[in-house]
Amino acid sequence: MAGLKTGPAGEAGTRPIAEPVGRDLKSLYQREGFAFVAGFVDTTTATLIRQTIDGLYERIQDLPPGHVDDLAPESARAGRPGIPAIRNILRLDPELRHILEPATLGAARSFLGKTAPILWDVAVYMPVGLPEVESPWHQDAAVYGLTGKREPKSYGYFWMALEDVDASGGAIRFVPGSHLGPKLPHHWRRGDENSGMETSAAIDPATVYTSSLRAGDATFHHPCLVYGAGPNLSDLCRKAWVLGVGAPNLPPWLHRLRVAFQGRFSR
Q: Where are the domains of the chain?
A: 25-265
Residue 124 has pLDDT above 90, yes or no: yes
263 neighbors 91 (Cβ within 8 angstroms): yes
Residue 16 has pLDDT above 50, yes or no: no
* C-alpha distance from residue 161 to each of 111, 250, 256 (Å): 19, 30, 28
Three-state secondary structure of the chain = CCCCCCCCCCCCCCCCCCCCCCCCHHHHHHHHCEEEECCCCCHHHHHHHHHHHHHHHHCHHHCCCCCEEECCCHHHCCCCCCCEEEECHHHHCCHHHHHHHHHHHHHHHHHHCCCCCEEEEEEEEECCCCCCCCEEEECCCHHHHHHCCCCCCEEEEEEEECCCECCCECCEEECCCHHHCCCCCEEECCCCHHHCEEECCCCCHHHCEECCECCCCEEEECCCCCEEECCECCCCCEEEEEEEEEECCCCHHHHHHHHHHHHHHCC
CB atoms within 10 A of CB 114: 12
Is 121 or 152 the better-scoring residue by pLDDT? 121
- CATH class for the domain made up of 25-265: mainly beta
* C-alpha distance from residue 25 to each of 52, 53, 108, 118, 147 (Å): 30, 29, 11, 20, 32
Instruction: Determine phi and psi for 189, rounding to 5 degrees.
Output: -60, -40
Residue 9 has pLDDT above 60, yes or no: no
Q: What is the CA radius of gyration of the chain?
A: 17
Residue 137 has pLDDT above 90, yes or no: yes
Residue 46 has pLDDT above 70, yes or no: yes
Identify the pLDDT of residue 168: 93
Residue 75 has pLDDT above 60, yes or no: no
Mean pLDDT of the chain: 82
Q: Please calculate the CA angle 14-17-23 and round it to the nearest 5 degrees.
A: 175
Q: What percent of the chain has pLDDT over 90?
A: 54
With 0.75 as the threshold, say if the pTM is over it: yes
Contacts of 263 (CB under 8 A, 6+ apart): 90, 91, 94, 97
37 neighbors 217 (Cβ within 8 angstroms): yes
Is 17 or 136 the better-scoring residue by pLDDT? 136
Contacts of 186 (CB under 8 A, 6+ apart): 138, 139, 142, 145, 146, 197, 198, 199
